[in-house]
Amino acid sequence: MRKQAPSTGPRAYELKKVTPQRGPLPSAAPISQGPLRNRRLLIIGSGLIFGFIVYRHSYKPKSASEDVAPQDFDYSARFNATADKFDEDVDCVEWLYGITKLRRKLVQQAHGNVLEAAVGTGRNSEFYDLRRVTSLTLQDQSTEMLEIAKEKWRETHPDFEHCRFIHGSALEPLPPAPGKGDISGDGGYDTIIATMSLCSTPGPSLFLRNLAGHLSLPDRTALATSNASHSPGERLPPRILLLEHGRSYFSWLNYLLDRTAPAHAKQHGCWWNRDIGKIAEDSGLEIINTRRKHFGTTWFLELGLPAEAEGVNRQQWLEDTRQKVALLQAEVGRAHVEWKERIREQEEIRRKDEELEVWRREQREHLKKES
């Protein structure tokens, strides 16, 4: 597949306003100056509170001499360990910052055969408009989180039979949409959703490329059955819809994110300082729409296949991605081996220094006795 020629203008995700082909998140109606001023004060106040909370309760910053562990290739063990309390830990924060509402707006755009990658504990399950969904495939690498997602789905949608759960990595080939042929033919998905997932994958751009390789082509999309902005029977384009968190507009906030990212990733498997816009650009996909909130740290992206991708060999696309993932896995493995060797050497130096200090102390005590 040919990559798009680099643009000489500003990057798509750096533009503050992007005019979408269709508005997934319609802008609010004009409001008066009074409410606008109050809203700005609320935003500023919330920002100050947020900054204080981060400053007061953030993880221990890395020091200049600290040798930070490289990212893991697979964080599923960490997610398995935290699955039971995951929802309890994030419910209040997501509600307070409006993430729950953004999840609802994002997921209700899903149509046709839908794949939700890195579904986690199924925090989006209750928001699907099943009148527009033909089938739903929920995938995650954590067995414990996937079990919780299953329970949620059965509780919220007991009568919807066209839902399946796939255990595995979204960096690997995924099965075609239910009832469809091979993925290289008419087996792609009409909507692929991922929320808060790019922070915990070692190859976020490859993650997006692999998902794009499972999109249906524009002339094979499912028919819309119910949509306020599209008439019934109108064909909708295949899309990847993302809700992510990452770097901010502001350098001071990025500084805080960078300083606390290693400790946060060590505990939660999440690198919260990634440049989401750059990741989308590096994937080679078309950035159709971008919106940001919370000082730019919350990202909404709508991605599609670039125009030249419509005639490519789908199997070749996925094979190329698989080979790059294999190289990445080997690179991550080497990085961990080198890091462990450095840690071993540092511990050996520290041990010798301690032995030397003990010897010096003994010598001083011996000299005092002799004198």
User: What's the token pair of residue 264?
Assistant: 């946060």
User: Is residue 114's pLDDT more than 50?
Assistant: yes
- Judge whether 123 and 158 are in contact, CB under 8 Å: no
CA dist 234 and 70 (Å) reads 47
pLDDT tens profile 169-188: 888 888 888 877 666 556 78
CA dist 308 and 311 (Å) reads 7
Amino acid 24: pLDDT: 47
Three-state helix/strand/coil letters over the chain? CCCCCCCCCCCHHHCCCCCCCCCCCCCCCCCCHHHHHHHHHHHHHHHHHHHHHHHHHCCCCCCCCCCCCCCCCCCHHHHHHHHHHHHHHHHHHHHHCCHHHHHHHHHCCCCEEEEECCCCCCCCHHHCCCCCEEEEEEEECCHHHHHHHHHHHHHHCCCCCCEEEEECCCCCCCCCCCCCCCCCCCCCECEEEEECCHHHCCCHHHHHHHHHCCECCHHHCCECCCCCCCCCCCECCCEEEEEEECCCCCHHHHHHHHHHHHHHHHHHCCCCCCCHHHHHHHCCCEEEEEEEECCCCEEEEEEECCHHHCCCCHHHHHHHHHHHHHHHHHHHHHHHHHHHHHHHHHHHHHHHHHHHHHHHHHHHHHHHHHC
pLDDT tens profile 245-261: 999 999 999 999 999 88
User: Is residue 79's pLDDT more than 60?
Assistant: yes
pLDDT tens profile 305-331: 887 666 666 777 777 777 787 777 777
- Judge whether 224 and 230 are in contact, CB under 8 Å: yes
Amino acid 344: pLDDT: 80
User: What's the token pair of residue 333?
Assistant: 């493995």
Task: Please give the residue that has the higher pLDDT: either 7 or 65.
Answer: 7
Flag the least confident range among 15-19, 112-116, 151-155, 335-339.
15-19
User: Is residue 77's pLDDT more than 50?
Assistant: yes
- Judge whether 226 and 129 are in contact, CB under 8 Å: yes
What are the two backbone dihedrals, phi and then psi, of residue 367, each rounded to the nearest 5 degrees?
A: -65, -35
- Judge whether 302 and 288 are in contact, CB under 8 Å: yes
Q: In what order do the strands lie in the sheet with 286-293?
A: 163-167, 133-140, 112-116, 191-195, 239-245, 298-304, 286-293
Flag the least confident range among 74-78, 98-102, 105-109.
74-78
Cβ neighbors of 291 (< 8 A, separation 6 or more) are 18, 25, 299, 300
Rounded to an integer, the average pLDDT of 232-246 is 81
pLDDT tens profile 32-76: 455 555 665 566 556 555 554 554 444 444 443 445 555 665 667
Q: Which of 224-228, 237-241, 303-307 has the highest mean pLDDT?
A: 237-241
Flag the least confident range among 115-124, 136-145, 171-180, 326-335.
326-335
Task: Please give the residue that has the higher pLDDT: either 15 or 330.
Answer: 330
